Amino acid sequence: MASIQMSAVSMKPVARFYNPDPGYLRGLLEKAGLNRTEAARRIGISRVGLNNYLCDTSEPRYRAADYRTQFALECLAESHATTSPQGGNHGAASEN
């Protein structure tokens, strides 16, 4: 994850914040200011795989994201948040 800024590197994973909710993960992408293709590239997964994590849970292709994927998206969002007026919110529940 060489493209992540230094402020996000200081984040530490805390598994009790695991939240595979697609709405929460989509919110992280929005906070990061990235489209799905770019986010997938930055965290080292396929775009199709990321789309499976982000689709509605009623879709047959839905797959729950593992915590590593969630944390990588949180790091991207935090990295972007340090350069914008919004703050990070590690593990917060989705409002969707």
For 26-84, what is each residue's pLDDT tens digit?
999 999 999 999 999 999 999 999 999 999 999 999 999 999 999 999 999 999 887 76
Among 76, 87, 85, residue whose Cα is nearest residue 4 = 76
- Sign of the Cα torsion 25, 30, 32, 38 reads positive
Q: Identify the pLDDT of residue 85.
A: 57
- Distance, in Å, from the CA atom of 5 to the CA atom of 22, rounded to the nearest integer, reads 25
Confidence of residue 8 (pLDDT cuts 50, 70, 90): very low
H or E element at residue 75: helix 67-81
pTM of the full predicted structure? 0.74
Does 13 or 49 have the greater pLDDT score? 49
- Distance, in Å, from the CA atom of 81 to the CA atom of 91, rounded to the nearest integer, reads 15
Q: Identify the pLDDT of residue 11.
A: 79
CA 85 remoteness from chain centre = 19
